[in-house]
């Protein structure tokens, strides 16, 4: 049982938080097993702390852990990270992929089984748009929509997976879970607990469709439990349910998706080793499942098979499971809050349990990630002359640039996606209608004479 439990803790939990503050942005990515935490900072470098048995710190050493953040060697212009079992992947802005750490199963994709203690380029991969790591394997999606895999049964060199395409998102945990652009979900791999969601317990080496699911907009893959968020704001789960992590009020494994009870109006989901999370449109966080180390964040250590509200959290924009049983949430003001245990919190300590959220320290000075408009460097106009009103807004607001005649206004969501564009001619004010748009934080990017003037934040609530 201990061996199984330790193995479970090492399943990949890919989690990304985009730290948004009035000064800028920083991506915080948390961890592969119980060992490490990472962050991408303003200059595109990567900060890491925690375990270093296999060179996971990426600083040219092997062995000594670090309980405070340090920089990974040689890496710049990083825009995304992926995690496996004691190893890490980095996707750079030039679409190349770099890897370091444990390579016992060939999960670094370097066509050998030699560990690396500094980032090393996977030279056979180029034109990559996204990456995802599993326990001992990894995936990359190319700009042409093709899927590539390596490690474990795939071998130590990247190979193309030709059995599925039109992929919107891929996650690798207790099995591989894919969300396609048509809103359907597909899985393959292990199925001991029904995590493939096709009504069986049979292993599948090829993609099978999760039955009874349509209109899915997001997925999250925990240990051997999978979650899907539908466009109607409901959450569905299937697979292992020993700790109540399916959220249907039982402890019975599910081979088909069932609705998580009592959750509606959800806009984001995440999952940990044996805990599920939901962020609702009212910016509250709800959790269910394993809670022996405070992962649920309700002030107890009692496991729950039904969602309960995480204590003391409001105005949350993102939520994620950090490193197996460390949970994280980001507030509108840019502050990061954590609860749970099995962590290297980055403040010089190595372990502790918090059954309710506590505020974490910032790791780096932050500016916009590469997917968002560039930050203001040389303002043309005085910032005080730029007004968004009202802010927060219910969807309609005005933008006034007194003293400046802006030519173009672009509005991006927190993922860097353009959601609104307004062209202006000889005017200093415009009205913007974003009624019906998803609630959250958006970023207003203004240019004049084809030069960046400023970025500002608007909250739609």
Structural domains of the chain ordered from first start = 2-359 (2.130.10.30), 383-460 (2.60.40.10)
In the predicted structure, residue 40 carries a pLDDT above the cut 80: no
In the predicted structure, residue 6 carries a pLDDT above the cut 80: no
The better pLDDT of the pair 12, 108 is held by 108
CA atoms within 13 A on the CB side of 113: 6
Span 168-189, pLDDT tens digits: 888 887 789 999 989 999 999 9
Rounded to an integer, what distance in angstroms lies between the CA atom of residue 51 and that of residue 267? 33
The better pLDDT of the pair 251, 137 is held by 251
Q: What is the model's pLDDT at position 35?
A: 59
Q: What is the model's pLDDT at position 118?
A: 95
Q: How many residues does the chain have?
A: 461
Q: Tell me the C-alpha to C-alpha distance, in Å, between residue 86 and each of 42, 120, 376.
A: 25, 15, 38
Instruction: List the single range of 22-31, 36-45, 202-211 with lowest mean pLDDT.
Output: 22-31
Q: What is the model's pLDDT at position 50?
A: 76
CA atoms within 13 A on the CB side of 388: 24
Q: Tell me the C-alpha to C-alpha distance, in Å, between residue 108 and each of 95, 118, 133.
A: 16, 12, 10
In the predicted structure, residue 304 carries a pLDDT above the cut 90: yes
Partnered with residue 227 across adjacent β-strands are 220, 237
Predicted confidence band of residue 12 (pLDDT cuts 50, 70, 90): very low
C-beta of residue 361 within 8 angstroms of C-beta of residue 346: yes
Q: What is the model's pLDDT at position 342?
A: 52
Q: What is the model's pLDDT at position 327?
A: 82
Q: What is the model's pLDDT at position 370?
A: 32
Instruction: List the single range of 64-73, 88-97, 373-382, 412-421 with lowest mean pLDDT.
Output: 373-382
239-248, 320-329, 357-366: range with highest mean pLDDT: 239-248
Q: What is the model's pLDDT at position 17?
A: 30
In the predicted structure, residue 4 carries a pLDDT above the cut 50: no
Q: What is the model's pLDDT at position 369?
A: 31
Predicted confidence band of residue 368 (pLDDT cuts 50, 70, 90): very low
Rounded to an integer, what distance in angstroms lies between the CA atom of residue 395 and that of residue 215? 25
Span 189-245, pLDDT tens digits: 999 999 999 999 999 999 999 999 999 999 998 889 999 999 999 999 999 999 999
The better pLDDT of the pair 296, 393 is held by 296
Average pLDDT of 276-293? Answer: 94
Percentage, residues of the chain above pLDDT 70: 76
Q: What is the model's pLDDT at position 439?
A: 74
Rounded to an integer, what distance in angstroms lies between the CA atom of residue 49 and that of residue 247? 33
Predicted confidence band of residue 425 (pLDDT cuts 50, 70, 90): low
Q: What is the model's pLDDT at position 244?
A: 97
Rounded to an integer, what distance in angstroms lies between the CA atom of residue 255 and that of residue 65? 40
Which of 9, 35, 149 is closest to 102 using CA atoms?
35
| Phi, psi for residue 206 in degrees, rounded to 5 | -125, 155
Rounded to an integer, what distance in angstroms lies between the CA atom of residue 461 and that of residue 458? 10
CA atoms within 13 A on the CB side of 392: 10
Instruction: List the single range of 32-46, 295-309, 364-378 with lowest mean pLDDT.
Output: 364-378
> How do the residues of the chain divide into helix, strand and coil, expressed in percent and rounded to 5?
5, 45, 50
Instruction: List the single range of 288-297, 300-309, 445-454 with lowest mean pLDDT.
Output: 445-454
In the predicted structure, residue 294 carries a pLDDT above the cut 80: yes
| Phi, psi for residue 383 in degrees, rounded to 5 | -60, -30
Predicted confidence band of residue 16 (pLDDT cuts 50, 70, 90): very low
Render 159-185 in DSSP notation, one character per residue. Answer: EEE-S---EEEEEESSSEEEEETTS-E
Q: What is the model's pLDDT at position 34?
A: 46
Render 263-279 in DSSP notation, one character per residue. Answer: --SEEEEEE-SSEEEEE
Q: What is the model's pLDDT at position 202?
A: 96
Which distant-in-sequence residues (6+ apart) come within 8 Å of 300 by Cβ? 291, 355
Rounded to an integer, what distance in angstroms lies between the CA atom of residue 103 and that of residue 296? 33
In the predicted structure, residue 97 carries a pLDDT above the cut 90: yes
Average pLDDT of 48-57? Answer: 85
| Phi, psi for residue 154 in degrees, rounded to 5 | -80, -20
Predicted confidence band of residue 410 (pLDDT cuts 50, 70, 90): confident
Render 431-442 in DSSP notation, one character per residue. Answer: EEE-TTSPSEEE
Average pLDDT of 286-290? Answer: 96
Average pLDDT of 329-358? Answer: 70
Which of 92, 83, 99, 72 is closest to 156 using CA atoms?
99
24-38, 102-116, 159-173, 351-365: range with highest mean pLDDT: 102-116
Q: Mean pLDDT, the chain, as a whole number?
A: 78
Q: What is the model's pLDDT at position 21?
A: 29
Q: What is the model's pLDDT at position 376?
A: 29
Q: What is the model's pLDDT at position 22?
A: 25
């Amino acid at each position: 049982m201990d061996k199984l439990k330790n193995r479970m803790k090492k399943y990949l939990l890919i989690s990304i938080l985009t730290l948004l503050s009035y000064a800028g942005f920083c991506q915080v990515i948390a961890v592969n097993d119980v060992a490490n935490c990472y962050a991408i900072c303003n200059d595109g470098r990567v900060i890491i702390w925690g375990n270093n048995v296999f060179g996971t710190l990426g600083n040219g050493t092997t062995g000594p852990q670090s309980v405070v953040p340090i920089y990974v060697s040689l890496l710049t212009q990083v825009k995304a990270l992926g995690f496996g079992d004691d190893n890490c992947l980095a996707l750079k802005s030039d679409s190349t992929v770099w890897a370091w750490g444990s390579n016992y199963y060939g999960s670094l994709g370097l066509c050998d089984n030699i560990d690396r203690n500094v980032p090393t380029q996977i030279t056979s991969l180029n034109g990559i748009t996204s990456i995802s790591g599993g326990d001992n394997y990894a995936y990359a999606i190319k700009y042409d929509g093709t899927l590539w895999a390596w490690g474990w049964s795939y071998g130590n060199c990247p190979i193309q997976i030709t059995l599925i395409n039109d992929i919107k998102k891929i996650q690798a945990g207790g099995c591989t879970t894919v969300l396609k652009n048509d809103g359907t979900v597909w899985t393959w791999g292990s199925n001991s607990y029904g995590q493939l969601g096709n009504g069986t317990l049979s292993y599948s080496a090829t993609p099978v469709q999760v039955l009874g699911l349509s209109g899915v907009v997001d997925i999250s893959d925990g240990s051997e439990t999978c979650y899907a968020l539908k466009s109607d704001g409901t959450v569905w789960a299937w697979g292992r349910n020993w700790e109540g992590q399916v959220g249907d009020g039982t402890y019975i494994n599910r081979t088909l998706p069932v609705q998580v009870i009592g959750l509606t109006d959800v806009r984001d989901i995440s999952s940990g080793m044996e805990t599920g999370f939901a962020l609702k449109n009212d910016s509250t966080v709800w959790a269910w499942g394993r809670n022996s180390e405070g992962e649920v964040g309700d002030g107890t250590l009692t496991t729950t098979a039904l969602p309960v509200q995480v204590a003391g959290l409001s105005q949350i924009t993102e939520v994620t499971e950090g490193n197996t049983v460390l949970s994280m949430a980001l507030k509108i003001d840019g502050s990061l809050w954590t609860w749970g245990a099995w962590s290297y919190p980055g403040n010089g300590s190595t372990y502790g349990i918090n059954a309710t959220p506590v505020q974490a320290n910032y790791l780096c000075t932050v500016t916009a990630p590469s997917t968002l408009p560039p930050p203001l460097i040389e303002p043309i106009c005085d910032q005080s002359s730029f007004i968004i009103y009202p802010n927060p807004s219910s969807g309609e607001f005005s933008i006034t640039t007194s003293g400046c005649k802006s030519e173009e206004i672009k509005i991006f969501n927190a993922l860097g996606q353009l959601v609104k564009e307004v062209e202006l001619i000889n005017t200093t004010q415009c009205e913007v209608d974003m009624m019906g748009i998803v609630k959250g934080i958006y970023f207003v990017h203004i240019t004049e004479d084809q030069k960046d003037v400023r970025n500002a934040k608007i909250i739609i609530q």
